[in-house]
């Protein structure tokens, strides 16, 4: 990046453009999302703000922890006509993703080159595994936020604007979810490198520590229910699902997905799938090892450390999350991002242009062949139809509390006739 004001402004404009593209990609990948709420977005974040205002719900836990950013954005749905509420929250979520992607593009991500930085910035939206329930809702926004926070923990924040932005992001992600603890390998690497170079503790690390510290304190003192822990802690199953959901599904074009239940019994098909995933992981390991050796030869200690820390974070996050709360597809999103990030990082050291082209083709094909999201989001009732039925019911019985169905199946939002302006 150029240090001149003109150069900084030009790069900033590119970052804004990347953010806009990412926001549009959320809509392109999930054009159905504005039609209805998803889970907690409607039944918790929107409804609580509708009933109790903006401030009081901020102190409520959900699933045993506190959701700062979704709680902050959820009330926006109360500022528009009620039939537009899901669309309003969708726009908020897309704007948040735009922030994350712009931050990734502007950070020192080690990938080298504008095209690689652009690809990395869009990865939280484009990753095949993101097409499960993690796409286009506030409840799972922290999995995409982790991607941007991981990158800023690697970057050096040379300008004042980036220091403020990156520190704010790291603080907000800690306040939003305890999954931020999955960044421990990267945070530890950043602290160790800065100490070796005689630097003070970076503001972005301080923000991360403050955010997760407050989250843990709130969990210990104010949480009114505990998180349900995983009952199936099979090491073999966790390892297989890492190969399946983090490696193969994101890197192998046309790779068919399977459910966690399908992975419970060993079959010839599962063994073959595991071997393909292991082969892909071995190739990635060889590329990373080569890049690590080259970094050491150049005495680029920072690059060498993060070539280890990034893939280590991918493994640490998925295995610890799976062991504690279960191997849900959404827990593979951040780990998959780290894996693709590591791959884009090693392309800097690939002297053979053909290898770069092959890698790019595989990533593009993997994205395009898994573009359609899960059926969980594409089918089901629309919020507008539910509101129309609720209004009809209120006209017959003004004291009733109609229940509007949302997604996934079994979720709903109870609305009084006063909220519907009928009475």
Instruction: Give me 30's structure tokens.
Output: 């999930």
Convert the pLDDT of each residue in 300-344 to its tens digit: 999 999 999 999 999 999 999 999 988 889 999 999 999 999 999
Residues of the chain above pLDDT 70, percent: 96
For residue 403, the cross-strand partners are 414
The 8-class DSSP code of residue 244 comes to: I
Phi-psi region of 39 (alpha: psi -120 to 50; beta: other; left: phi over 0): left
Contacts of 285 (CB under 8 A, 6+ apart): 311
**pTM given for the model:** 0.94
Are 248 and 255 in contact, with CB atoms under 8 Å apart?
yes
Q: What is the mean pLDDT of residues 381-394?
A: 94
- Between helices 301-325 and 184-196, what is the axis angle to 10°? 150
* Exposure of 274 in the CB half-sphere (CA atoms within 13 A): 13
Task: Look at residue 359 in the predicted model and tell me its pLDDT.
Answer: 82
pLDDT-based confidence at 6, cuts 50/70/90?
low
Kindly state the percentage of the chain with pLDDT values over 90. 72
- For the chain, the domains span 5-378, 383-414
């Amino acid at each position: 990046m150029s240090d001149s004001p003109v150069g900084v402004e030009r790069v900033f404009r590119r970052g804004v453009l990347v953010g806009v593209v990412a926001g549009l990609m959320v809509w392109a990948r999930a054009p159905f999302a504005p039609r209805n709420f998803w889970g907690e977005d409607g039944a918790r974040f929107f409804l609580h703000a509708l009933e109790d205002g903006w401030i009081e719900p901020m102190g409520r836990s959900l699933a045993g922890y506190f959701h700062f950013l979704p709680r902050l954005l959820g009330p926006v749905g109360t500022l528009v006509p009620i039939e537009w509420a899901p669309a309003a929250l969708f726009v908020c979520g897309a704007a948040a993703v735009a922030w994350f992607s712009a931050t990734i593009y502007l950070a020192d991500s080690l990938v080298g080159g504008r095209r690689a930085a652009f690809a990395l910035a869009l990865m939280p939206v484009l990753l095949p595994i993101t097409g499960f329930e993690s796409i286009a809702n506030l409840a799972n926004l922290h999995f995409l936020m982790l991607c941007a926070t991981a990158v800023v923990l690697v970057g050096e924040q040379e300008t004042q604007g980036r220091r403020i932005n990156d520190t704010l992001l790291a603080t907000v992600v800690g306040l939003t979810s305890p999954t931020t603890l999955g960044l421990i390998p990267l945070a530890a690497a950043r602290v160790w490198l800065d100490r070796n170079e005689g630097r003070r503790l970076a503001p972005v690390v301080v923000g991360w520590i403050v955010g997760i510290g407050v989250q843990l304190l709130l969990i210990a003192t104010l949480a009114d229910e505990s998180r349900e822990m995983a009952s199936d802690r099979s090491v073999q199953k966790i390892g297989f699902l890492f190969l399946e959901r983090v490696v193969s599904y994101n890197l192998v074009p046309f790779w068919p997905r399977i459910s966690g239940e399908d992975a419970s019994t060993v079959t010839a098909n599962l063994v073959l799938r595991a071997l393909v995933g292991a082969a892909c992981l071995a190739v990635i390991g060889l590329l990373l090892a080569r890049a690590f050796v080259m970094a050491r030869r150049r005495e680029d200690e920072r690059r060498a450390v993060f070539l280890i820390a990034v893939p280590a974070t991918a493994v640490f996050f998925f295995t610890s999350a799976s062991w504690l709360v279960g191997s849900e597809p959404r827990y593979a999103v951040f780990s998959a991002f780290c894996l693709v990030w590591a791959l884009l990082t090693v392309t800097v050291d690939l002297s053979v242009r053909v290898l770069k082209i092959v890698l790019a083709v595989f990533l593009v094909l993997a994205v395009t062949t898994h573009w359609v999201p899960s059926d969980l989001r594409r089918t089901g009732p629309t919020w507008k139809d539910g509101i129309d039925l609720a209004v009809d019911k209120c006209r017959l019985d003004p004291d009733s509390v109609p229940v509007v169905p949302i997604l996934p199946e079994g979720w709903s939002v109870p609305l009084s006739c006063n909220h519907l302006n009928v009475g």
